[in-house]
Structure 1
Amino acid sequence: MTNLTSGTRVLVTGASSGLGLALAQQLAEAGCRVLATDVHADAPAELADLGDLTYLTLDVTQDAHWDRAHEWVVENFDGLDVLVNNAGVAAGGRIEFTEMDQWQWIVDINLLGTVRGCRRFVPLLKEQGSGHIVNIASAAGLVHAPSMSEYNSVKAAVVALSETLRHELNPFDVKVSVVCPTFFKTNLGTSMRGKDEAALRAASKLINGSDRTADGIAREVLKQVRRGAYLILPDRDAIMAYHAKRVARPVYDRMMFKAAARLAAKSRGKA
């Protein structure tokens, strides 16, 4: 069980929008002491007047920014109870459309940004003998749809990192959770990079057409973090996709092959 009530000290990355913003808001409303961070110089208006919440500029690709966040936490919180590695970006496209600078961009943010956060704060959590790391991955880290090679790869790596740390940190009473939602309404679609127009349109349609919201996903995530869950599947589609791959692999493969065929047909103007 992880306490997320009055006085709990939490750092959230990528807190200016989407799931990060929703998590920071709900944590602050629950009485937690929140350090909300993002790459932007100024905090969004949505984070104003939310109790014990402070905003700090943090580019997760920069070691110096993580050092500054660590110093702030030690000086102002005298420790940390929960680290939420949420900051992330999206990219899509079939492999021949993906360029190496795009791969490097998403690896630096989605994977190495999470790695940097864990590396910087794990010594503190181990010294405390307590704490909880919450890594935001994606259902794409568990089930690997076509035309998402970059995103699938980095999110799968975050899942692998989280499982490794779960075992590695258990002797120190430090918990680890990895969060794997499917598509929900967010601005991720508008910031998605890639040159495969057919794939980007398909991804944007799934994001914009979802009836799930960041607030709803955040509520489920925090409920399961409180329970100490490791693998958090916060929506029904994520649960179904995960179990379909595990117990009905031929059906899962047929679905993925059909999705790839539809995309190929659209790109050729046949559908």
Structure 2
Amino acid sequence: MSARRVFITGGSAGLGREFARQLAASGAKVCIGDIDAVAGVATAKEIGGHFIKCDVRLETDLQAAARWMKTEWGGADLLINNAGVAQMGTLTDTPVADWQWIVEINLLGTVRGCKTFAPLLAETQGTILNIASMASFLHLPGAGAYNATKAAVLALSETLMLELEQDGITTHAACPSFFRTGLAQNMRAGDDKARAMTERLVERSRTSPADVAAAILEGMERGEPRIFIDKRTRKALRMKNWLPFSRYLGGLRKEVAKLDARMARITKGQST
């Protein structure tokens, strides 16, 4: 994969910033799109790139970014649809407004990015990288909205792998598991338990955004359409694909019970 000109949504922090750093270090020109102008400008200055204010909920923002890439850099070679948010909580505790919020960003933000940049990428035989998640296929309770949007991102990506290859565009979907990022800080949660559990899973991860970005870029270099970066993710996918679903569901039920028990012990310890 040769990416000379890159546009990254949500590129000012976390995984997006690591993509920007590593791609810039490899010699690419990187344009960061983000709603956080302060962090975006700082990251762009750090890597010698460019920042554009971009809210993926607004098609006009993405169109403006694509025009800038075409006018200033002559086009684009790689689009990374990285912008995303989390919503945790049960079905009954999650307002429809929160569903609309996460769908607008995680799913439709990715749709808008692909749709807007596809003509540019067709000119360069370029590449799309969509950031899905382990939650695309491992659907833990209390995360219905997040699971649904990330499953949809994976489904969209697999569709485009065939649909856009006719235009010379290569599409990848990355499915990382929990890693240390700011996702939990900006999430919406239906209850304190959902928030605490998500924060705990993120904080306890030994994997950094830099590790995840490097693994995903390596997967792209190897030409992997779906990129799974760790053994746990690959094992979970194999279990779901190979076992009778009732047996798989039983195993998942036990894992959820263990996680609930662990959280209960942590909560009890903090209250004493």
Normalised by the size of structure 1, how large is the TM-score? Answer: 0.91
Corresponding residue for 2:228? 233
1:244–1:251: 8 Å Cα contact kept in structure 2?
Answer: no
Pick the structure with more helix per residue: 2
Where 2:31 maps in the other structure, the secondary structure is strand
Question: 8 Å contact 2:172–2:226 — kept in the other structure?
Answer: yes
Whether 1:207 aligns to 2:202 is yes
**Partner residue of 2:172?**
177
Alignment coverage as a number of residue pairs: 263
Give the aligned partner of residue 88 of structure 2: 92
Within the candidate set 74, 79, 83, 2:79 is matched to 83
Deviates more, 1:192-201 or 1:182-191: 192-201
Structure 2: runs of 5 or more not aligned: none
Matched, 1:198 2:197: no
Aligned residues of 1:60 and 1:87 also touching (Cα < 8 A): yes
Task: Tell me which residue corresponds to 2:47.
Answer: 50
Amino acid aligned to 1:195: G
What are the Cα deviations for residues 66-93 of structure 1, in whole angstroms up to 9, with x where unaligned?
1110110110121111000000000101
Matched to 1:254, the amino acid is G
Match of 1:34 in 2: 30
Is 2:253 the counterpart of 1:257? yes
In structure 1, how many angstroms separate the alpha carbons of the residues matched to 2:248 and 2:43?
Answer: 40
Question: What's the secondary structure of 2:87's corresponding residue?
Answer: coil
Find the aligned partners of 2:164 and 2:220 in 1 and give their Cα distance: 16
- What's the TM-score, normalizing by structure 2? 0.91
Note the aligned Cα RMSD (angstroms): 2.0
Q: Is the 8 A contact 2:121 2:169 kept in 1?
A: yes
**After alignment, is 17-26 or 253-262 more displaced?**
253-262
Q: Residues 242-253 of structure 1 correspond to what in structure 2 (within 5 A)?
A: 242-248=237-243, 249-253=245-249
Question: Does 2:164 match 1:165?
Answer: no
Q: 1:183·1:207 contact (CA, 8 Å) conserved in 2?
A: yes
Aligned mates of 2:247, 2:31 — CA distance in 1: 44
Q: Does 1:23 align with 2:19?
A: yes
Counterparts of 1:89-128 in structure 2, within 5 Å, are 89-126=85-122, 128=123
Query: In structure 2, what is the equivalent of residue 62 of structure 1?
Result: 58
Instruction: Give 1:138-149 correspondences, 5 Å limit.
Output: 138-149=133-144
Conserved in 2, the CA contact under 8 Å of 1:146 and 1:259? no
Give the secondary structure class of the aligned counterpart of 1:48.
Answer: helix
Q: Deviations over 1:154-179 (max 9, x none)?
A: 00000010011111011222100001
The aligned amino acid for 1:48 is: K
Measured in 2, the distance between the counterparts of 1:255 and 1:200 equals: 24
1:114-164 superposed Cα distances (whole Å, 9 cap, x missing partner): 0001111112223x1611000001010121111110000000000010011
In structure 2, give the amino acid aligned to 1:153.
Answer: A
After superposition, what is the alpha-carbon deviation per residue over 1:13-49, rounded to whole angstroms, capped at 9, x for unaligned? 1011111011011111111011111111232534423
**Paired residues for 1:209-224 under 5 Å:** 209-224=204-219
CA distance in structure 2 between the aligned counterparts of 1:9 and 1:237, rounded to whole angstroms: 33
Tell me, yes or no, if the aligned pair for 1:25 and 1:47 is still in contact at 8 Å: no
Q: Does structure 2 retain, via aligned residues, the 8 Å contact 1:180–1:234? A: yes
Residues 129/75 of structure 1: CA separation in 2 closer, same or farther (3 Å cut): closer
Cα distance between partner residues in 1 of 2:115 and 2:9? 15
The AA in structure 1 aligned to 2:113 is G
Which secondary structure state, in structure 1, belongs to the residue aligned with residue 176 of structure 2?
Answer: coil
Q: Would the aligned equivalents of 2:77 and 2:126 in 1 still touch at CA under 8 Å? A: yes
Of stretches 110-119 and 221-230 in structure 1, the one that deviates more from structure 2 is 221-230
Paired residues of 1:133 and 1:177 also in contact (CA < 8 A): yes
Q: Is the 8 A contact 2:136 2:152 kept in 1?
A: yes
Secondary structure of 1:116's counterpart equals: helix
Alpha-carbon distance in structure 2 between the residues aligned to 1:49 and 1:17: 12
Separation (CA, whole Å) in 2 of partners of 1:238 and 1:119: 29
